[in-house]
Amino acid sequence: MVVSLVAGALWAMLPAYVPNNAAVLAGGGHPIDGGRTVDGRRLLGDGKTWRGTAVGTVAGVALAMALNAVRTGAAGALGADLPVFSLRAALGLALGAMLGDIGASFLKRRLGRERGAAVPGLDQLDFVVGALLLAAVLAPTWTLATFSPARLAVIALATPLLHVTTNAGAYLLGLKSEPW
């Protein structure tokens, strides 16, 4: 029961979790804002690049399709009810996660925080909100059926923990310049 709930919730969010990590690995190249500033502050900053965003989105969609391929076996092994991703749902989760993170950087720059500054709460949940919103736009029926209140509660609790641990791990491995 609990295993099924947690497994289903995390499975449904995996295509939104992976894009940010893929973007860290792929980062570099041209910033999306092209260096533009508003009131002396960068629109987004050098941490949001075209390449990171594209690679992150493709990685999230590809992961969703890979999860579909192994779903039956995983569901049996875990005794869990796991969702199937439509292409629209996968794109909504992956691109939405990237857009949520970009939106957070926009807000951070407006608040005067430099690239890499930590804003607890915003850093951990920006991509979840973006992913759920774009999935709801691109695949409304799937999103409503998949994200039950119980699964959303698991996601709200587990995401900050996962985010903090993966980013600390990426920092320790030298892949990221800050541990958040």
* Residue 41 in the binding site for ligand CTP (CB under 6 A): no
* Residue 100 in the binding site for ligand CTP (CB under 6 A): no
Smallest gap from Cβ 133 to ligand CTP, in A, equals 17
* Residue 47 in the binding site for ligand CTP (CB under 6 A): yes
* Residue 169 in the binding site for ligand CTP (CB under 6 A): no
* Burial (0-12, 13-18, 19+ Cβ within 10 Å), 13: buried
| Contact in structure between 15 and 93 (CB atoms under 8 Å) | yes
* Residue 60 in the binding site for ligand CTP (CB under 6 A): no
In this structure, what token pair is assigned to residue 155?
């996601």
Choose which of 12, 23, 67, 154 interacts with ligand CTP (CB under 6 A): 23
Q: Nearest 5 degrees, angle CA 128-CA 129-CA 130?
A: 90
* Residue 49 in the binding site for ligand CTP (CB under 6 A): yes
Q: Which is nearer to ligand CTP, 14 or 78 (CB)?
A: 14
In this structure, what token pair is assigned to residue 81?
């009810």
* Residue 24 in the binding site for ligand CTP (CB under 6 A): yes
| Contact in structure between 173 and 135 (CB atoms under 8 Å) | no
Stretch of 5-13, 40-48, 72-80, 152-160 lying at the interface with ligand CTP (CB under 6 A): 40-48
* Residue 134 in the binding site for ligand CTP (CB under 6 A): no
Q: Which is nearer to ligand CTP, 68 or 178 (CB)?
A: 178
DSSP assignments along 14-54, one per residue: HHHHHHHHHHHHH--S-BTTTT-EETTEESS-TT-BHHHHH
> Could you tell me which residues are beta bridge partners of residue 31?
49
Smallest gap from Cβ 137 to ligand CTP, in A, equals 19
Integer-rounded Cα radius of gyration of the chain: 16
